[in-house]
Amino acid sequence: MNEVKWYTQDEKAVEATLQTNMQQGLDWKEAKQRLRRVGPNQLQDQSQISAFAILLNQFKDFMVLVLLAATLVSGLLGEYTDAITIIAIVVLNAILGFVQEYRAEKSLIALKELTAPTAHVIREGKLEEIPASELVPGDIIYFEAGDRIPADLRLFETKGVNIEESALTGESVPVYKEAVQVIRDENVSLGDQYNMAFMGTLVTRGSGQGIVVATGMDSQMGQIAELIQTTESIQTPLQHRLEQLGKVLITVALILTAIVVFTGIWHGHDAYKMFLAGVSLAVAAIPEGLPAVVTIALALGVQRMIKRKAIVRKLPSVETLGCASVICSDKTGTLTQNKMTVTTMWLNNQLIEVTGSGYEPKGKFYKEGGHTLTHAQQSLVSQMLEFGVLCNNATLSEEAEVDGGLLKKKKTYWDITGDPTEGALMVAGAKAGIWKNKLNQTYQRLEEFPFDSARKMMTVYVTTSDGHRKVVTKGAPDVLLERCTHVIWNGRKTPLTDHIRQHIIKANDRLAGMALRNLAIAYRDAGPHELQNEFQAEQHLVFVGLFGMIDPPREEVKQAISECKQAGIKTVMITGDHQKTAEAIAQQLGIRQQGSMSINGTELENMGQQAFEDIVEDVTVYARVSPEHKLRIVKALQKKGHVVAMTGDGVNDAPAIKASDIGIAMGITGTDVSKEASSLILSDDNFSTIKAAIEEGRNIYENIRKFIRYMLASNVGEILVMFFAMLAGMPLPLVPIQILWVNLVTDGLPAMALGVDPSEKNVMSIPPRERKESIFARGLGWKICSRGLLIGLATLAAFWLTLQNHPDDLIRAQTIAFATLVMSQLIHVFDCRSEKSIFHRNPFENKWLILAVLTSTLMLLGVMYLEALQPIFRTVSLSVQEWIFVLFFAALPSVALAFTHVFNSKKERR
């Protein structure tokens, strides 16, 4: 525990601190230089598939240099056409690569300062407003409602201070603060340190003064920021798999290319030509565009996700979200609305249900079970709501905001100013047509006795226009009940007997068991001169009833959690709120089910690491936890092999967000710290958006598998054509320029078009992938090898048969092989759209793929039918019969395997 947490209400300690500063002649500027402050986090974005891209591009660059060197030799030997063409193709490839990389670049959101911009400080007896960054320990800070605390303060003067600390503790209800001594105890949480105000928290009520005890990185917020900086970001599954893939590709390409070259030389081919063909084959075989295509696929997915209210900061995280097996979600503001709402009223020995959510004043009142209220019951409910609005300092108003876009539509929303609990009463009153401005025309407030922790009550003294005076009090039920002598019972004022008191206590316990925060309301008639202080005012009260309120779950979250469960994804609630409240919300949302566990921060703190890891997969609710606990939970789940998504909005969530496989921050209520630590930001703060992001992430990964399958199978086919031809002692089926053109035509546009392929229907009905799953899992490796082998054999067969029929026309045979190889790859791209077969999906679903294939076909036809290009690419025009021959062999691999799949499926069903 940090030492600054334990300042007490010893005024001598305060004076000693100030006196020490004065004796040392503390110079504020010098002190400022010595302080460590919270600055913008220099977090590195991982939007590039860096290791994979660097590996492939470095090898590709080396081979291109070798190819250019060989081309230079060709030019010196007088083969200018070949040299110029090869250079042109290399330049076109470079341009395509540049365009791909340019499209893949994404800018990051600008970093923001974490500290409050200004602070009101008392120096030399004067109140000054200075930049918060100039504060030093020993400064005296004055603050009031609406201010953000600029540093960690030990409070020594308070007047009804309430501070909203949800960014640090996760609790949506403001904490009452007072200048009292806190006993030193290692188990006292931040939320229970009532004599401290922490940097970055918001004052919702009252005013006070405090001495600065910690600034910058020494503050509670600073320590959490330091946790973020020292927490290592882990490598995503996609990055890890692609890095391994790059090494395999280079090794295999080098070995096979070397075998092709040496085999060709051994069979008597010209060494220089074989060397040039081998280098061209190596250049074509390495899919250097794959990292860029992967990045483009992720970037296009990002654009789709933005439309679905999810903003991606790190591209690889999109894929990672698709294989998440656990979502660790904060409660306040993520699963709930972060809007205290009256859901239940208990009065006249009856339970009243209140509908509606949020701050919008729309809702109805029903008796328990959904029965309509009688006129008498409506009158009692209205009276209780009127008292709740009278004894209140919050305001409810309709705000306007301009929606972006060309039309600049104006939207409105309801919001409260002031304490959330009082705001909930204002909204409940408005649902019944009781508005504060209307009551002010009837009632005039004569006196207010603010809430304090000793009394646990607030009281107002009001008078009507006809001179009738009332005292209205609200407060903690157990305390307020002790001040009551009468009660509204059976519709009239009745003496409060022990029997009725027990009914009220049971009702209070029942509402508490529903995880509701209860507030009692009472009143009494008063004379004009009998009230001199709060003690006199808060006696002989008439108990009216109980308000039960809660920060309600988001309406759409339950369905989203259910769909995540169907997809094999477990949702875990991690909150700083009370355990009973957390359990109740988790029960409503379907997070907590039979057999699952719930533990709090103290239990977690006292639990050994091994014991915790043994139960971590059974726990669905964590309550009253600290930032260190959240980090521990995430790491324990990761150790169990889970891919963990951590959602949150507060500063306390940030370290775990960064340490998780995929960090998700709230865009509206999220703090800057949590956003900077995250990989994904939900612009609508809606948990259901996570489900949409998971669906998109899974589809993106499947699309990545599709074009890896396509590009590698195509490249395997290219290598095997040359490999088998050299083993058989045949002439070269492809010349170097054709090999390079095949690479340019087939590896670019079709692969990119696969990146926008629509998802298959079952994408959210299958379990998440294992963290260690290979990119070649689920038969992908076999499909690449088998399709590549068939493409190579089909191309070689077309070449050999043509050569048999036209033994003196090698160029025609090479043209047939060239066309067969390209067309087999363009047909194979449709086969890659499904894990099953080419006939499983409608080929016209992906219009971009149709356009890409047509473009590539035109590029092929151009070098075959334009007379100026024929001598350069060693091609001739083909007849209709020859095209039928080409298309037969080109389609053979995909069609043959499709029928094999159909046969095997029928066999499995039988």
| Angle separating helix axes 687-727 and 736-747, nearest 10 degrees | 160
Q: Give the separation between CA 456 and CA 731, rounded to whole angstroms.
A: 96
| Token pair belonging to 561 | 């959690």
Check if the beta carbon of residue 307 is closer than 8 Å to that of residue 635.
Answer: no
Q: Give the separation between CA 408 and CA 275, rounded to whole angstroms.
A: 64
Q: Which helix (H) or strand (E) holds 204?
A: strand 202-214
Q: Which residues pair with 564 in a beta bridge?
A: none
DSSP secondary structure string for all residues of 123-182: ETTEEEEEEGGG--TT-EEEEETTPBP-SEEEEEEEEEEEEE-HHHH--SSPEEE-S---
Q: Which of 218, 330, 551, 685 is catalytic?
A: 330
Task: Give 114: exposed, middle or buried? Use CB within 10 Å, 0-12, 13-18, 19+.
Answer: buried
Q: Give the separation between CA 318 and CA 48, rounded to whole angstroms.
A: 12
Q: Give the separation between CA 114 and CA 216, rounded to whole angstroms.
A: 9
Check if the beta carbon of residue 425 is closer than 8 Å to that of residue 381.
Answer: no
Q: Give the separation between CA 740 and CA 720, rounded to whole angstroms.
A: 15
Q: Give the separation between CA 261 and CA 271, rounded to whole angstroms.
A: 8
DSSP secondary structure string for all residues of 13-31: HHHHHHHHHHHTT--HHHH
Check if the beta carbon of residue 754 is closer than 8 Å to that of residue 833.
Answer: yes
CA atoms within 13 A on the CB side of 144: 1
Q: Give the separation between CA 564 and CA 325, rounded to whole angstroms.
A: 9
Q: What are the residue ranges of helices labelled H in 25-79?
A: 28-34, 50-76
Radius of gyration of the chain (CA): 36
Q: What are the residue ranges of helices labelled H in 533-650?
A: 534-537, 557-566, 579-589, 601-605, 609-615, 627-639
For tokens 């402050």, name the residue: 37
330 noted as active-site residue: yes
Buried b / exposed e along 811-834 (16+ C-beta atoms within 10 A): bbbbbbbbbbbbbbbbbbbbbbbb
452: Cβ–Cβ under 8 A, 6 or more apart, which residues? 160, 176, 178
| Token pair belonging to 842 | 């409608």
* Count of residues in the chain: 910
Nearest to 743 by CA among 825, 668, 802: 825
Distances (CA, A) of 761 to 566, 704, 840: 14, 17, 12
Catalytic (active-site) positions: 330
